[in-house]
Structure 1
Amino acid sequence: MKWSGRYQHYTGEAFRRDLIAGGIVGIVAIPLGMAFAIASGVKPEYGLYTTIVAGILISLFGGSKFQIGGPTGAFIPVLLGIVMQYGYQDLLIAGFMGGVILLLMGVLRLGFLIRYIPKPVTIGFTAGIAVTIFSGQIGNFLGLTGVKRHEYFLGSMRELWDRLPTWNLYSVLTAAICLAALLITPKLLPKLPASMVGLLLSTAAALWLYPGQVATIGSAYGTIPGGLPVIHGLDLSASHLLRLLEPALIIAMLGSIESLLSAVVADGMSGTRHNSNRELLGQGIANIVTPFFGGIPATGAIARTATNIRSAAASPLSGIVHGIVVLLIVALFAPYASNIPLASMAPVLMMVAWNMSERKAFVKMLKTRTGDSVILLVTFFLTVFTTLTTAVEAGLLLAAVLFIWGMSRSLVMHKALPDAAHGERKMQALQPDRHHDCPQIAIFSVNGALFFGAATAFEEEGSELAKHPLGCVILRMSRVPFMDTTGEAQFTELVRKLQDKGTTVLVAGLNRQPKEMLTKTGGYARLGDRHCFEHTGEALDFALSRVDRPTCKGCRQFAFRECASLCKAEGETAGFAVPGSAGPSVQKPGTI
């Protein structure tokens, strides 16, 4: 995506649209930035700094025309775990390293790898993250006091249960006001940001109706400072970097998945096409720079990106405007945000969790009752009860195992004969029987990828085939799209066994990749170029021209169209004979 393409035919009207869209998204982003930071275990202003710095850089350098970047809900359980285990300063270092990894992914053009993450894994961990976010806000919703943060779900639930007697009626009332605004505003005033309306109404109620009765951002985290974010130094010593490599990899993995998923959603809504590698570059740059301003890791935000598109944004300039708007509001009005009750933030995050939960896709996939359902549940429960890293690793491993198992079962090797009823006499699977078969020529169709997972099944089928004496075997390989070294070894071993028994092996329809594999390993040379054909008909003509005529004489199987003339043929033409038959086995020049 070139700069000329991103701003091609840019007009004053487009600039006006970008200003409006950026302003709207900026207002939407303010409460979310603070809420995500608080839920991640850091001060709310760090979420605002992330919105400003990362939001501007992602729009400036990213590969999606309408992508809005910033702190997101998907990062909450990951960042909270890092903060609890390592601390805030090390979170900044991990975020910096995650940015470097994202940058390298973009430089190495690895954006395509995200496509290979199975849908059940992404839906499973997204739903699991949603549960974690939702449950993490129950304490603020109820106004519980003395609640300690726990890294794992069960510990958090046990803590909430122990602190349940400390619930605060005023906090519940405040949260209910905000929740009602979140639900009603989109229906009555769809152009207004519901989260901002909810925060303003619930904060006003808490200040005027029951002042001092609920915990606020100021009472919990101190006054939010106004003005520009201050540059922080980072300890980038080797010991720190090595210790934080695992968290950095998690941040990079999740950041790449979320940003590219958001870019795909933006493409669908706007009819554009993003550049995945450039998007990773933009995400990397943003996450490298943001920690120096105290910001937490950022990625593409699907909800804010959708708001940007619905607000008629015309270019990435709207994302830059959104960051500037947040900067101006923070500089002028940040101290007033300290009066926002924590109970008001809880419904905002709960709605975020509800909207990101993929509940419809989750239920739909669960109803399929397939291997994908198992992957979905395993990823979901591990995300909730352990860590995101464990969940994704287990989900990917299980998906790979089930895929290999399914592919191994899909390999089929069956005997076939031409279908006399078909005009073009195509091969018909499982047509041969004791009254309709050829004692000299056997045709087998091999269907499916011939790889390590299917090698055992192929070996069993091949061993059964090698037991029967035959003059010629034609292997139809047109439906074998792939062959690895294990599959090649089994295939070549079958050819060797048949050839050692005196059977001529012909191959028809060999695809490019299996042919290249056989050529590299010497299997193709064992077959012989003249025994490899593009079409089954050519292989069959070759075999029929070399059958043992005396064996054909008197045969009443009539497996092939040519059998009638072969049965009546006079004289003996030497060719291959069925091992163990009474026919001659001496070969003349030019025969198999």
Structure 2
Amino acid sequence: MDLREFTPKLFTLLKEGISARQISRDLFSGIIVGIIALPLSIAFAIASGVSPDKGLVTAIIAGFFISVFGGSRVQIGGPTGAFIVIVYGIVQQYGVEGLTVATFIAGFMIMLMGFLRFGSLLKYFPFTLIVGFTAGIAVIIFSSQIKDLLGLEMGAVPSGFIEKWAEYGRHLTAANLYAVLIGLGTIAVILLFTRITSKVPSPLIAIVLSTLAVYFFQLPVDTISSRFGTIPNTLPMPKFYSVDFETFKNLLAPALAIAMLGGIESLLSAVVADGMIGGRHRSNMELVAQGGANILSAMFGGIPATGAIARTAANIKNGGRTPISGVVHALTLLVIMLLAAPLAGLIPLACLAGILVVVAWNMAELHTFAAILRSNRYDAAVLLVTFFLTVVFDLVVAIEIGMVLAAFLFIKRMADATSLGQMFDAQTAGDSPLFEDEFGKIPPHIAVYEINGPLFFGAAQRFFDALKDLGDRHSVLILRMRHVSIIDATGMKRLEDLVRLLEGRGVKVVLSGVSPRIMDDLLKAGFIDVERMQPDMEAALKWVSELSRKS
């Protein structure tokens, strides 16, 4: 086992040495990212159906742990928009206590993924699926913010997408004009200041302006404190959970959903970060750290955490290059919570809704969505199905069906890519001058065919059907397999069926160009001996010629 694979990046960098100049950059970047994370952590918690302090606790505890023990140099951890859909659904069905236990279980699952080296496997998750469910999550986040964005006086928002919009429609005439102005103003400020400067976080500017407006003009809009009370200015004491089998069984599916999404998003964020800094993260160590972070987050009453792509990108753009910036980000949030938590209660909910609308817009990645739609019908089908199922049903169903659909369509494309080429068949195709220029005159009783691509269950039957009637015209079949990279059990069985069928009709089957690995498999299968597997076409023709002389 390579121990470096499970060594946190921070430990490696400290051993190698970090310059004072880089430390100062990390300190600056960490403070900026901490300020950026403040409104997002609160907004994600509220949108998830829990109190705002849980978002802060998650960003502090999980963010600190991920930076110290993670496998990425620049990853920033904490609550993210992608979890809103899952967390809200779990809270609706199992309550906050159920969410905490599910997060606790999910933490162990993610750690296990890391120790089992699943990090590399999660990288093979189809990109179209990720874009589809991310765009679906973006639509759900936007939909969940309409109540606060318009200041609608209504009860609990239904969790179903269609039911939610139907309820909005019934209360639309009671929209609060002040809330609408604050929400739209927040969106405008974020978009404007993002273009003007990146030094000061635009969501922070929007929060300060909207909070001052509500406070000084006493605008009749909901604030954090009016709905949730004062945000505590202390961290809760950790609580240890003992999960019995019945609870584990009930919360297994939600926990698995948290673990899968957390693992995928954290590694996706790490890959994006690698591309921005030219680095390489340790995927399995990152999963172990993400798992530990979720366990600790649950113990402190937090919500699920993962790598946050937007905050990680902000960290890089502000000069962060080591995990020190992530640690400073968590400590910055802790200081703000200890010293200024009550002030956060003055933030209008319409402002947070406006921030999340911008987050949803950025998550949707419409240019990528449109590009995939234009690419090919298979990818477009996976994208649209995953998107639709995420919006109308839930993320777990979308991922399950999307993965199955992507797998089936991939099999279809691989089967279509596998071809059986007729290289020489004097009985049906006439002479092939180019082929004969290379190998000399081919006797008419010999047919030469070549398989291009993997011989697997998707293409095996087509291969068998194309050659099964060959015995009526020839006494020898040379099957070139130099371009066959793999052969599965179904392909092996159909090849065996073909060999036995043709040899029963007196046709000798010779294979050429078989790779060593496939040759071993064929010898173990026992239906063809080693002398009928020749290294190339020339050797196969020579063997057939010698066989003819002997007979």
**TM-score relative to the length of structure 2:** 0.94
Structure 1 residue 483: deviation in Å? Answer: 0.8
2:89 and 2:95 mapped to 1: Cα distance?
9
Query: What CA deviation, in whole Å up to 9, does each residue of 1:530-582 have, x standing for no partner?
Result: 221111111112223444xxxxxxxxxxxxxxxxxxxxxxxxxx45xxxxxxx
36, 40, 45: which is aligned to 2:53? 45
Query: What CA deviation, in whole Å up to 9, does each residue of 1:93-128 have, x standing for no partner?
Result: 000111000000011111111122111111100000
Matches within 5 A, 1:406-445: 406-417=413-424, 420-421=433-434, 425=438, 438-445=443-450
Contact 2:423 2:435 in 1 (8 A): no
Match of 2:421, SS state, is: strand
Partner residue, 1:447: 452
Structure 1 residue 419: deviation in Å? Answer: 5.9
369 and 446 in structure 1: CA distance in 2 versus 1, 3 angstrom threshold: closer
Match of 1:60, SS state, is: helix
164, 181, 187: which is aligned to 1:179? 187
Are positions 1:387 and 2:394 aligned together?
yes
Matches within 5 A, 1:12-411: 12-209=20-217, 211-234=218-241, 236-411=243-418
Partner residue, 2:512: 508
Give the letter aligned to residue 455 of structure 1.
Answer: A
2:23 and 2:442 mapped to 1: Cα distance?
77
Contact 1:18 1:312 in 2 (8 A): yes
Partner residue, 1:486: 490
Task: Give the percent of matched residue pairs that are identical in Structure 1 and Structure 2.
Answer: 43
Give the letter aligned to residue 470 of structure 2.
Answer: L
Query: What CA deviation, in whole Å up to 9, does each residue of 1:262-320 have, x standing for no partner?
Result: 00010000111001100000000000111111110000000000011111113101101
2:455 and 2:312 mapped to 1: Cα distance?
44
Match of 2:111, SS state, is: helix
1:80 and 1:86 mapped to 2: Cα distance?
10
Contact 2:148 2:353 in 1 (8 A): yes
**Structure with greater Cα Rg:** 1
Partner residue, 1:541: 542
Match of 1:87, SS state, is: helix
Partner residue, 1:477: 481
Give the letter aligned to residue 351 of structure 2.
Answer: S
Contact 2:225 2:231 in 1 (8 A): yes
2:282 and 2:437 mapped to 1: Cα distance?
47
Q: Which runs of 5+ in 1 are unaligned?
A: 428-435, 548-573, 576-586, 588-592
1:326 and 1:332 mapped to 2: Cα distance?
10
2:435 and 2:499 mapped to 1: Cα distance?
31
2:517 and 2:406 mapped to 1: Cα distance?
25
1:137 and 1:504 mapped to 2: Cα distance?
72
1:513 and 1:357 mapped to 2: Cα distance?
45
Give the letter aligned to residue 106 of structure 1.
Answer: G
Contact 2:436 2:442 in 1 (8 A): no
More moved, 127-136 vs 398-407 = 398-407
412 and 236 in structure 1: CA distance in 2 versus 1, 3 angstrom threshold: same
**Greater percentage in helix:** 2
Q: Which runs of 5+ in 2 are unaligned?
A: 425-430
More moved, 488-497 vs 436-445 = 436-445
1:449 and 1:496 mapped to 2: Cα distance?
21
1:344 and 1:426 mapped to 2: Cα distance?
77
2:167 and 2:491 mapped to 1: Cα distance?
55
Contact 1:147 1:159 in 2 (8 A): no
Root-mean-square deviation (CA, aligned residues, Å) is: 1.8
Structure 1 residue 498: deviation in Å? Answer: 1.6
1:362 and 1:212 mapped to 2: Cα distance?
39
Contact 2:48 2:88 in 1 (8 A): yes
More moved, 537-546 vs 259-268 = 537-546
Contact 2:150 2:177 in 1 (8 A): yes
Contact 1:144 1:163 in 2 (8 A): yes
2:530 and 2:376 mapped to 1: Cα distance?
47
More moved, 224-233 vs 319-328 = 224-233
2:547 and 2:244 mapped to 1: Cα distance?
76
Pairs aligned (count): 537
Contact 1:46 1:296 in 2 (8 A): yes
2:190 and 2:417 mapped to 1: Cα distance?
50
Contact 1:63 1:278 in 2 (8 A): yes
Contact 1:469 1:501 in 2 (8 A): no
Bigger relative contact order (CA 8 A; separation at least 6): 2
Query: What CA deviation, in whole Å up to 9, does each residue of 1:126-180 have, x standing for no partner?
Result: 0000000011111111100114222221111111111112100110111122112
2:117 and 2:504 mapped to 1: Cα distance?
49
